[in-house]
Structure 1
Amino acid sequence: MSIANLTRAETAARSSAVTVRSYRVELDVTGAPDSTEAGFLTTTTVEFDSSAPESWLDFIGLEIRSVIVNGQFVDVEYDGTRITLHGLRRSNTVVVSAVGEYSRSGEGLHRFHDPVDGQTYLYTQYEPADARRVFACFEQPDMKAPFTFAVTAPSGWDVTSNRSAAIVEDDGDGQTVEFSPTLPISTYITSVVAGPYHRVGSDWRHGDLEVPLGILCRASLAKYLDDDTIFEVTKQGLDFFAEHFDYPYPWGKYDQVFVPEYNLGAMENPGCVTFTEAYVFRGAATAAQYEARANTILHEMAHMWFGDLVTMVWWDDLWLKESFADYMGTLASAEATEWSDAWVAFANRRKAWAYSQDQLPTTHPIVADIVDLEAAKLNFDGITYAKGASVLKQLVTYTGRDAFFEGVRRYFRDHAFGNTTLADLLAELSAGSGRDLGSWAGAWLQTTGVSTLTLEHGADGHEIVQTDPRPHRLAVGLYDFDDTGDLMLRERVELDVDAERTPVSLPDAALRLLNDGDLTYAKARLDAQSLDTVERSLSRVVDPLARGLIWSALWNATRDGELAPARYLSMAKEFVSAETNTALLTTVLTNASFAIGHYLPLAERVSWRSAWLETSWIVMGESDPGSGAQLAWARAVAAAAVFDDGRATDIREILTGDRPAPDGLALDPDLRWALWTALSATGHADPSDLDVELTRDDTASGRTAQLRALAARPDAEVKARAWTSALEDTALSNDHLDAVIGGFRAGERRDLIASYDDAYFAAIRDVWAQRSIELARRVVLGLFPASESLDPVDAWLDANSDAPGALRRLVIEQRDHLRRDLRVRSA
């Protein structure tokens, strides 16, 4: 086990002996603008009670300068991750002075130098256990306490934390900002953001409650920040949750900060939510992108109650916050914002993530068995988020919405600022609904796998056949053509399905759609007649949620080898150009590209890649000028052109200005880089072209994109340098590491990169031991060989039975993805 790991057993023993009363954390980041300064000063004063004479504080940094226990300097006992404390009393005060290390991996205190204006930006990211990279602490979620932060930073910087500033001292060279104490919170949701951020303010009122709102981003991105739209969604969400939760927003203020080189979509730090800068759109964006951003804003807002106010005891119950936030974010999007079709994207995108994860050999129950932090890190997955949210949607149907929300309100009132487990939640929901939810929890929260529902027709009528039986409340939608040729819902039959075979009386219909309305979590198949109808008339299905469920059914059948990939691609080619829901459009475009590269036999791949590029090119040109559909198809062109150079001359002429782009298409920096990367990957762009493009977009995003495009060139020496850089260059930031790996893999040129397969398996244990789990995970996943054989993977697994469990899990999952690819191709 890595010394940086923490186990559930040892943290449970620590929290049973130690009760934290308060933290004071002092940080000095005045040296941050100097890139030669590796570290920052950090001093923690923690007051706590203890029933044991010995414990430890967690810290990962450059140096421990001193430890004071109850007023006495003591010898420092530090192994690189833990500071051992001896001679503890009933009541204790410990002061740790140390030097933390600025991060380039997005873990801890991340430092970013903006190439546009030379400014430096800092932000923290801790989940699940990286607060210890910034200050000494008891790093586990059930040891909550109030935190007081005092940050010394350069004058002129905006310094933000979970609470409002209480004291600011500024001598013109530096400033010290002290914040009001927080309410009791866990270490992983504390936050500090510092730098010359651009800030926009507003406020939200609800009765007598007034909450200051802030939106922050780097100064060089300020011109792209659509703060009015973000504030609108924010206020709509706060209104929705105030009404439904009946518990006042508790955190005083609500800042939302868009930060560079972020590892996540967002993080729910109370009063100081951080988001990826990808949500600040530098150019045109589709409706699906705006919808996804709104959903993320509301997901994080739901965490202010689910996760921040009431927190899980340990990471086994991570779902107590993530499943609820996923469900509540989508519910609020659909009912409180303009994105009333939010459940369409959920059904087609989020649940696809869950279905894929739930079919892996490493799947786990929603309530997982998380023995240590490494396991916790990998459980921020489709099960914990999307499957959990899907199951909650089914639970709301099962208990009734009013009873569900009454249970939620009781949960907040009874456990505010505390920690809970599954049993605590079930008790409140049972009291609210009058139902015993034990059997429901056993069926849905404590099992693994996804059921597949099929409609069969026999001599005695229809039966719904279910694999891996579970109790479902679902609907069957019966669709027929109207006078205009559209497929409309004629009737919906609701029923309970809990056995392997459930009889159901259904009249004839052109299309019978299992799980109509997306009430339950299951893969639904189309019967032969319905598939025939869909294959002829999918675009005539008027309801977008129904279309989304049909596309989901087709994709799941393709992934499972029951629908030929070429048949799926033919339907995509025929119907997706008419898709009006951009979330569905972009999902199908992505799936089509994936199917070509992973599921088609090699002999069919080249012709389909050429055909798909041509389809994308034609539809891009025919789409409404300036529309989201045109932009989505332009991105599809860029993705397809990485593999096929049939339009390389046309693309190059558009980029150089020798021919006009399609009418209305905005060639924003991100699209231009995607097209240049395609040219580079097919040998139609050289470094001088990419240098010229960088002069147009010499930004952080531009430099990252150029790095990817340079590594994409189909040259053996280029690939060798990219491989060495990915494995050995520890100065690469998280984004730059992704760019190098992405360029190395661009075009899937097995003729150039297959020779590295053996080197991959020889290297990954050292990578895991030497890198942080975040960076190691990117290497292990990003460089996994897309070979035509499972033998090298199996040999590594056999020879490395003693490898860390989290590493083995990643390799096992990648093996299963490869196994699926090979099986579907052979089918």
Structure 2
Amino acid sequence: MNTANLSRTETRRRSRHITNVAYRIELDLRGATDAQRDTFGTRTTVTFDASTEATWLDFIGPEVLSVTIDGTPVPVDHDGSRIQLVGLGRHNTVVVDALGRYSRSGEGLHRFVDPVDDEVYLYTQYEPADARRVFANFEQPDIKASFTFQVSAPEHWEVLSNRTGNRSGETVTFDPTLPISTYITAVAAGPYHRAESTWSRGTLTVPLAALCRASVAEHFDPEDIFEITKQGLDFYHDKFDFPYPFGKYDQIFVPEYNLGAMENPGLVTFTESYVFRSAATEAQYEQRANTILHEMAHMWFGDLVTMEWWDDLWLKESFADFMGAFASAHATRFTDAWVSFANRRKAWAYLQDQLPTTHPIVADIPDLEAAKLNFDGITYAKGASVLKQLAAYVGEDAFFEASRRYFAEFAYGNTTLADLLVHASAASGRNLDDWASAWLQTTGVSTLSCTDSAIVQTDPRPHRLAIGLYDKDSEGNLVRVHRREIDISTASTPIELPSAALTLLNDDDLTYAKIRFDASSLATIETSLDRVVDPLARGLIWSALWNATRDADLNPSTYVEIASKFAGSETKVGVASAVVANVQYAIDHYLDDSDAASQTWISTCWSQLESADPGSDAQIVWLRAVAAASQASDARAREIERLVDGTLPIEGLELDPEQRWMLLRSLSALGHTSRAALDAELQNDKTASGLNSHRAAVAAQPTAEAKARAWSDLMESTELSNDAVDATVTGLRAGGRRDLLAIYDDRYFDAIADLWSTRSIEIARRLVVGLFPQQESTDAADAWLSAHEWAPAALRRLVIEQRDHLARALRVRRAFGL
């Protein structure tokens, strides 16, 4: 039995017996700078009341040195995941001395050595259940506690946790936390660069800090981060009527992070990719702002009020995803944040919701392995989309009033769906049981279309939606001339609409549904998409076109043609980036004659790059498009070579190191650069990013030797970090060379069960997904699934999903004879 995979049933039983928990955690990190040492000292003192004589503490680490109960040493009973406790009384003090192991996958306490200056950086990442890799605890969200951390580390280091600390020499002792769950406790330590500010409202003053590695500080822009942070705190303070409760607000940007960000109260962690080492578009700044506001929303949705178990994960993630876009649009300079939400976040939801492994927003999560994979497009983006529909259904005022009542009643506690619905119904005056059943407890996505006399939907649900009618004005622009907002709930809803050049269902993106265009509207789009003035309307059109392409309702060649014609004029850079990425995906997966399509597309990308305004976001977008498209076509290889060596300058474009690596990887995939040239480039960029970019470029070389080396590294090395794994996989797959990769198809299916059992779930997930073979049939995947019914459910889920992506691509090809 895998005792590391905690189940809902057993943790629920434990929470009935364990109450009044408090921790003191002492971590000795002074040996972190010793490269030969992979462990650290950890001591947990936990006090609790018990109504049972026996329970267990969770701890995953190499060794438990000793355990005492109420001062009496007891035999160590540790199976690698659980420490058994027997002979408990009503009030208990348990002390566990142990060794923890530093992580290279971002699970637990991650250690990173900066290749620029050999400095060591540490940080923790625990969700959903990796605090037990750092200290012994009751690892479940509904056993909240106060945590007091004491950390010993080199004296010149920054040492941070959820609360403010007091230093005495090498030891920093932090104030006790308010009651929180184990997964949102946090520690970071290292010679981090630090910037400071404050936010005040009335009598409340919150110290702010933003931190990153010293070697990337020259690229850091804390002023923009603080601006968004203050705008968010202003907004949430007003909307939630519950002052920020956690004292300080530190935000730290860390290397090799395996998530976008994590909402640890008082110490929010972010991926270092938000420190823009390369030229960044306004869309990237918008995405960072959205993430900052998403994590900030968690201070209330998730940290202050927490789900009882992971099947109600949506109670925090869906709300935070919705609030990230809502607050961006209402409180920051990114006033059209809903455009990006409609075109990018919802695309993730639509994709996830059409897989065989789809699940309700309120999911059945029996154990931790299932929870780990449930941080997906349904829990985040579909849930957020449905909350936007709820706000339209009950009204924004009622929505936020329900939130305020919810926080007031359940602060520092745990909740379920029923608790939220009570307040939402009370605030709105509407019984939401049927709404919750239709939206939160079902799967799938409706498809809406418009006939001459009715709105038709598949998979019927109740929708509050707007219908927009667009016609050309005196200047030839397509503008909305009529809008109607209606409720529909059946398969067909009669409606009479005036005629118009373009009928846009779900205008303003109020509901969660795919839409289809009538023939007249599609004809308008094919000739005049660039004349649609409103960016949200354009975003919805692009989203609908892509959904129709994926569903084999629109010929992928038509999508590529529309994109080739209009993507260059798309002014919303985030939408343009998504469209360009979709075209590349269509060429790689949906078109059999991809060589011809690739040559045409790379020429389009190069033309757009040359004509883009110097120094503009569009120039950045099309440079990235050139790099992606050129991996499979050498039609512009000579121009790219000259761009890299500086003999073909483009006004406004000065390649930074990451852009150079991006182009070099493409040249490497084509066989247009050598290993020696890549090694020489590395000498000019010996950063962590440079090392991984070099790794990817080397693995991209179109030789059997390069592919074999990359495959061996992935299969045999257990020391690769998550970033190094991603880079190697990216290089191995670059160019899609089936002649070189087919040899690994059988090896993939032979290896994945062992990988799942021997690697951390984070690394194993990256390998299983990233290396899935792109074959001409699903036979190999089907055979593996048939022969491995015994495999862990989480592993089977990943294979089923990748198999479905392949099957969809094959269906699209067959539908259009491609």
Task: Please tell me the TM-score bracket, short chain as reference.
Answer: over 0.9
Is the Cα–Cα contact under 8 Å of residues 21 and 143 in structure 2 kept in the other structure? no
**Distance (Å, rounded) in 1 between the aligned partners of 2:735 and 2:283:** 26
Is the Cα–Cα contact under 8 Å of residues 473 and 495 in structure 1 kept in the other structure? yes
Residue 391 of structure 1: how far off its partner (Å): 0.4
**Distance (Å, rounded) in 2 between the aligned partners of 1:35 and 1:636:** 40
Partner residue of 1:691 out of 657, 679, 690: 679
**CA deviation vs aligned residue, 1:770-794 (integer Å, no higher than 9, x gap):** 0111000011001101000111111
**Distance (Å, rounded) in 1 between the aligned partners of 2:763 and 2:4:** 15
User: Following TM superposition, where does structure 1 have runs of at least 4 consecutive aligned residues deviating by more than 2 angstroms?
Assistant: none
Which residue number corresponds to residue 727 of structure 1? 715
Counterpart mapping for 1:703-742 below 5 A: 703-742=691-730
| Secondary structure at the counterpart of residue 676 of structure 2 | helix
Q: TM-score, normalised by structure 1?
A: 0.98
Matched, 1:97 2:93: no
Residue 494 of structure 1: how far off its partner (Å): 0.9
The number of residues matched between the two structures is 815
**Distance (Å, rounded) in 2 between the aligned partners of 1:326 and 1:338:** 18
Counterpart mapping for 1:453-532 below 5 A: 453-457=448-452, 462-532=453-523
Which residue number corresponds to residue 115 of structure 2? 115
Residue 666 of structure 1: how far off its partner (Å): 3.0
Matched, 1:371 2:366: yes
Which residue number corresponds to residue 319 of structure 1? 314
| Secondary structure at the counterpart of residue 32 of structure 1 | helix
Matched, 1:632 2:621: yes
Partner residue of 1:620 out of 596, 602, 609: 609
| Secondary structure at the counterpart of residue 507 of structure 2 | coil
> How large is the RMSD of aligned CA atoms in angstroms?
0.7
Matched, 1:810 2:798: yes
Is the Cα–Cα contact under 8 Å of residues 447 and 459 in structure 2 kept in the other structure? yes
Counterpart mapping for 1:29-428 below 5 A: 29-165=29-165, 167-170=166-169, 175-428=170-423
Residue 697 of structure 1: how far off its partner (Å): 1.2
Residue 659 of structure 1: how far off its partner (Å): 2.8
**Distance (Å, rounded) in 2 between the aligned partners of 1:34 and 1:572:** 53
Residue 357 of structure 1: how far off its partner (Å): 0.3
Residue 658 of structure 1: how far off its partner (Å): 2.6
| Secondary structure at the counterpart of residue 23 of structure 1 | strand
Residue 484 of structure 1: how far off its partner (Å): 0.6
Residue 62 of structure 1: how far off its partner (Å): 1.2
Is the Cα–Cα contact under 8 Å of residues 162 and 272 in structure 1 kept in the other structure? yes
- Residue type at the aligned position of 2:604: T
Residue 592 of structure 1: how far off its partner (Å): 0.5
Q: TM-score, normalised by structure 2?
A: 0.99
Residue 686 of structure 1: how far off its partner (Å): 1.1
| Secondary structure at the counterpart of residue 515 of structure 1 | strand
Matched, 1:547 2:538: yes
Residue 21 of structure 1: how far off its partner (Å): 2.2
**Distance (Å, rounded) in 1 between the aligned partners of 2:20 and 2:55:** 12
| Secondary structure at the counterpart of residue 97 of structure 2 | strand
Which residue number corresponds to residue 525 of structure 2? 534
Residue 653 of structure 1: how far off its partner (Å): 1.7
| Secondary structure at the counterpart of residue 31 of structure 2 | coil
**CA deviation vs aligned residue, 1:625-656 (integer Å, no higher than 9, x gap):** 00000010000000111111111122112212
**CA deviation vs aligned residue, 1:189-228 (integer Å, no higher than 9, x gap):** 0000000000000000011000000000000011111111
**Distance (Å, rounded) in 2 between the aligned partners of 1:295 and 1:246:** 21
- Residue type at the aligned position of 1:318: L
**CA deviation vs aligned residue, 1:43-87 (integer Å, no higher than 9, x gap):** 000001110110000001111000011110000000000000000
Which residue number corresponds to residue 759 of structure 1? 747
**CA deviation vs aligned residue, 1:255-286 (integer Å, no higher than 9, x gap):** 00000000000000001000000000012110
**CA deviation vs aligned residue, 1:447-502 (integer Å, no higher than 9, x gap):** 00000001112xxxx21110000000001100000011100000101111100000
**Distance (Å, rounded) in 1 between the aligned partners of 2:796 and 2:476:** 53
**Distance (Å, rounded) in 2 between the aligned partners of 1:4 and 1:724:** 29
Which residue number corresponds to residue 451 of structure 1? 446
- Residue type at the aligned position of 2:120: T
- Residue type at the aligned position of 1:674: M
**Distance (Å, rounded) in 1 between the aligned partners of 2:132 and 2:653:** 47
**Distance (Å, rounded) in 2 between the aligned partners of 1:788 and 1:269:** 45
**Distance (Å, rounded) in 1 between the aligned partners of 2:555 and 2:379:** 31
Residue 432 of structure 1: how far off its partner (Å): 1.0
Residue 118 of structure 1: how far off its partner (Å): 1.0
Residue 248 of structure 1: how far off its partner (Å): 0.4
Residue 3 of structure 1: how far off its partner (Å): 3.0
Which residue number corresponds to residue 573 of structure 1? 564
Which residue number corresponds to residue 649 of structure 1? 638
Residue 240 of structure 1: how far off its partner (Å): 0.3
| Secondary structure at the counterpart of residue 309 of structure 1 | coil
Residue 670 of structure 1: how far off its partner (Å): 1.2
| Secondary structure at the counterpart of residue 688 of structure 1 | helix
Residue 251 of structure 1: how far off its partner (Å): 0.3
Partner residue of 1:557 out of 536, 548, 552: 548
**Distance (Å, rounded) in 2 between the aligned partners of 1:580 and 1:743:** 32
Unaligned 5+ runs, structure 1: none
**CA deviation vs aligned residue, 1:159-205 (integer Å, no higher than 9, x gap):** 0100001x3111xxxx1000000000000000000000000000000
| Secondary structure at the counterpart of residue 743 of structure 2 | helix
**Distance (Å, rounded) in 2 between the aligned partners of 1:227 and 1:504:** 52
- Residue type at the aligned position of 1:821: A
Is the Cα–Cα contact under 8 Å of residues 283 and 666 in structure 1 kept in the other structure? no
**CA deviation vs aligned residue, 1:116-172 (integer Å, no higher than 9, x gap):** 11100000000000000000000000000000000000010000100001x3111xx
Unaligned 5+ runs, structure 2: none
**Distance (Å, rounded) in 1 between the aligned partners of 2:716 and 2:514:** 42
| Secondary structure at the counterpart of residue 154 of structure 1 | coil
Residue 687 of structure 1: how far off its partner (Å): 1.2
Is the Cα–Cα contact under 8 Å of residues 466 and 510 in structure 2 kept in the other structure? yes
- Residue type at the aligned position of 1:525: R
Q: Which stretch has the larger CA shift, 256-265 or 715-724?
A: 715-724
Residue 20 of structure 1: how far off its partner (Å): 4.0
Which residue number corresponds to residue 607 of structure 1? 596
| Secondary structure at the counterpart of residue 146 of structure 1 | strand
| Secondary structure at the counterpart of residue 392 of structure 1 | helix
Residue 404 of structure 1: how far off its partner (Å): 1.1
- Residue type at the aligned position of 1:325: A
- Residue type at the aligned position of 1:692: A
- Residue type at the aligned position of 1:168: R
**CA deviation vs aligned residue, 1:666-685 (integer Å, no higher than 9, x gap):** 31111111100000011011
- Residue type at the aligned position of 2:96: V
**Distance (Å, rounded) in 2 between the aligned partners of 1:820 and 1:446:** 26
